[in-house]
Amino acid sequence: MNYKETLEYLYNAAPAFEKVGAGAYKEGLSNTLALDEHFGHPHKKFKTIHVAGTNGKGSTSHTLAALLQAAGYKVGLYTSPHLVDFNERIRINGEPINHQYVINFVEQERQFFEPLSPSFFELTTALAFKYFADKEVDIAVIEVGLGGRLDCTNIITPILSIITNISFDHTGFLGDTLAQIAAEKAGIIKEGVPVIIGEDNDETRPVFLAKAKEMHAPIFFAQDCQYVTQSIPSDSFGRQYHTRCWGILEGALGGECQEKNVNTILNTLIPLSKAMKATGMPITINGRKPMECLRIALKEVCSMTGLMGRWQKIQESPLVICDTGHNVAGWEYLSKQITETMSIKKKNGGDTHIVFGMVDDKDIESVLKLLPKDAKYYLTQADTHRAINVDKLHKMAKTKGLSGSTYNSVKEAYTAAISNTKKNDFIFVGGSSYVVADFLS
């Protein structure tokens, strides 16, 4: 098989949640444990950091990976979903997994895993752990796929756990209250392993405290220590963070939500440094101290790790931005930032065009309420069975006072948008990771 045929086999033999939704979800760790045993427990051959949460875990994972790279380590990074190529999910020092390695893995191991009927994510996780072990990484940052307690990444015992935040998402699997969702995410808290909680509230904090006490795990709440006092957009279309202790930090990621993520990461510095030192891997190698490594990571995270789709500027004139925000919590930040950008453009006679689509298992009604009414919409659907039908989306949008046209693909929608714009206009592309993936492809 070539690479394309291998990916088609993987998607067909082990259905992906991103492609088919709930039908691809498999509860429990039996398949993961069987795969792990077959490959000789590869996850035990390198150190790990585990990152869970509803939003922000991708940006946080990439930034931590960049920090460790800046310290001089060989760093694995496992995230999902991918945007353009499957191999984006599995990286070492920013370089995606080699296509031939993926082909060889499937061809050599399919006789073992086919009888198990694993999910796509179970198989991909096994591939990632084996790849990191074979390539002898020093440490890997592992992003949870869905939830935490029963996620197949949860076989690892990390040196540090991070839970970015809790909001309503995947309620059919994780529960319909914040406390229930927090309990699932808290499942990554391990015996004696420090855990950092990025954001919490009265409903989720008791859940985290109880789990940490049960597991004798030191727990740190980033909201109790606000290192970031404010953040503002930078001239380079990233973000400047004003801090209590370290002056101004320059960040490559421009989204307003990154202020919370950066505060979470700043709160990891001391626990991470201690955990690394305890394992004989100090962050002070190569003469760089942890804060210097973080400065580099924040400024160069995209080039160091290949991160895409976070308030990403595609071009300047007209201004084109895409973002993978896909649920209500994410859009509470996005809608504010879009409105601010619209206001700036409007002063110079610029109009706003929004290419928008979502998947059908999200709270679409609530997201539509957050969208600006004085923009022109190009409603579409991504190339995934999870996408809400564009005609249904159009009807829902009309009830919220949003006007625009429908397009059967993201490419058609964006082509129409770009053909209708002036140089000083603003185009936003988003609503789901899959819309952004189709757009970037």
Structure tokens at 158: 């990390």
Query: What is the identity of the amino acid at 436?
Result: V
Same domain, 118 and 217: yes
The percentage of residues in the chain with a pLDDT greater than 90, rounded to a whole number, is: 76
| Domain end position, chosen among 251, 275, 305 | 305
Q: Judge if 86 and 167 occupy the same domain.
A: yes
Q: Are residues 266 and 391 in the same domain?
A: no
Q: Is the pLDDT of residue 18 over 80?
A: no
Mean pLDDT (the chain, rounded):
91
Same domain, 267 and 338: no
pLDDT of residue 21: 45
Chain segment 203-258, per-residue pLDDT in tens = 999 999 999 999 999 999 999 999 999 999 887 778 999 999 999 999 999 888 89
Whether residues 55 and 187 share a domain: the answer is yes
Distance of CA 115 to the CA centre of its chain: 31
Q: Which domain holds residue 258?
A: 3-305
Whether residues 272 and 368 fall in one domain = no
Instruction: Give the CATH number, domain containing residue 219.
Output: 3.40.1190.10
Query: Same domain for 282 and 376?
Result: no
Residue 25: pLDDT band by 50, 70, 90 thresholds?
A: very low
Express each pLDDT in 188-197 by its tens digit: 999 999 999 9
Residues 82 and 147 in one domain: yes
pLDDT at 28 over 80: no
Number of structural domains in the chain: 2
Q: Can you give 322-391 as a three-state secondary structure string?
A: EECCCCHHHHHHHHHHHHHHHHHHHHCCCCEEEEECCECCCCHHHHHHHCCCCCEEEECCCCCCCECCHH
Chain segment 304-334, per-residue pLDDT in tens:
999 999 899 999 999 999 999 888 988 988 9
- Assess whether 347 and 301 both reside in one domain: no
**Within this chain, do residues 46 and 139 fall inside the same structural domain, yes or no?**
yes
pLDDT for 3 beyond 70: yes
Q: Give the domain-ending residue among 278, 305, 332.
A: 305
Both 316 and 280 in a single domain?
A: no
What is the domain-level CATH number for residue 319? 3.90.190.20
Of 305, 331, 365, the residue that ends a domain is: 305
Instruction: Tell me: do 51 and 197 sit in the same domain.
Output: yes
> In the structure, what pLDDT confidence band is assigned to residue 283 with cuts at 50, 70 and 90?
confident
